[in-house]
């Protein structure tokens, strides 16, 4: 009897020790900033590859970058793209808002889609400068428009979340600088498209807003 009781006790102690080791390992993972950062990075990469890249498949001559480069030193919410290069900040990775992450990534690829989209509308091969709105600022308005239009069209549930977070986006955009309009103006531009979309065909609302930005003074 004692022999069997001893074996049973040893089995229980072994199972408890195994469970404790597993919990300890999980606790170590959850308290390890590098492990958490890697997980957040993987989620952002998956969001980009699974949700952002497919948004552009119907626009000719747009080849979104396949890899994301991380600026681990930048804790601001930021991203940038050029040709086949896409860089995101650590701040964007750490952001606990997937809808805004989706918009930010889509906005960057939308820069690459702006001139191909202009070609579809039979416009010039370069964004024209205005007297009050320079071509850099127009590029931001147009990338915002393309991004919100594609998300509205293909991911309506995410669009609603982004629309609900416009105040947060406006704060992230910040004030006006030479290359970027103010957050207030950028949100207003997207709202004008959304208002037109309620009363018109989506494609027509998108085209009219695109042309309005393109021809800004």
Residue 19, in any domain of the structure: no
Residue 14, in any domain of the structure: no
The pLDDT value given to residue 36: 67
The pLDDT value given to residue 37: 63
* Rama region for 149: left / alpha / beta (φ>0; ψ in -120 to 50; rest): alpha
- Please give the average pLDDT of every successive group of 10 residues along the chain, which has 217 residues: 41 40 45 68 96 96 94 95 90 97 98 97 97 97 98 97 97 97 98 92 95 98
Residue 182, in any domain of the structure: yes
The pLDDT value given to residue 8: 36
Pairing of strands 85-89, 69-71: parallel
Structurally, the chain folds into a number of domains equal to 1
* Rama region for 129: left / alpha / beta (φ>0; ψ in -120 to 50; rest): beta
pTM as predicted: 0.83
Residue 134, in any domain of the structure: yes
CA distances from 102 to 107, 161, 179 (A): 8, 11, 22
Rounded Cα–Cα distance for residues 208 and 145 (Å) = 11
Per-residue DSSP letter, 71: E
* Domain encompassing residue 185: 33-214
Residue 18, in any domain of the structure: no
The pLDDT value given to residue 124: 96
- Position of tokens 């003074």? 217
Residue 17, in any domain of the structure: no
Q: How far is CA 106 from the centre of its chain?
A: 5
Residue 57, in any domain of the structure: yes
The pLDDT value given to residue 83: 78
Residue 23, in any domain of the structure: no
Token duo for residue 165 = 């977070």
The pLDDT value given to residue 110: 98
């Amino acid at each position: 009897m004692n022999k069997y009781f001893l074996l049973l006790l040893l089995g229980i102690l072994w199972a408890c020790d195994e469970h404790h080791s597993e919990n300890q390992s999980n606790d170590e993972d959850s308290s390890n900033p590098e492990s958490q950062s890697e997980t957040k990075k993987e989620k952002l990469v998956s969001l980009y590859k699974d949700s952002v890249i497919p948004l552009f498949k119907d626009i000719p001559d747009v080849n979104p970058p396949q890899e994301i480069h991380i600026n681990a030193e930048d804790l601001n919410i930021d991203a940038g793209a050029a040709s086949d290069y896409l860089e995101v900040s650590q701040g964007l990775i750490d952001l606990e808002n997937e809808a805004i992450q989706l918009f930010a990534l889509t906005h960057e690829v939308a820069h690459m889609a702006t001139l191909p989209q202009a070609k579809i509308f039979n416009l010039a091969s370069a964004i024209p400068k205005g007297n009050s709105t320079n071509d850099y600022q127009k590029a931001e308005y147009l990338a915002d428009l393309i991004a919100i239009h594609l998300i509205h069209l293909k991911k309506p549930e995410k669009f609603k979340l982004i629309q609900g977070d416009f105040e947060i986006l406006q704060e992230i955009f910040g004030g006006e600088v030479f290359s970027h309009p103010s957050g207030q103006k950028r949100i207003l531009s997207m709202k004008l498209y959304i208002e037109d979309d309620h009363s018109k065909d989506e494609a027509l609302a998108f085209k009219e807003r695109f042309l309005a930005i393109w021809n800004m003074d």
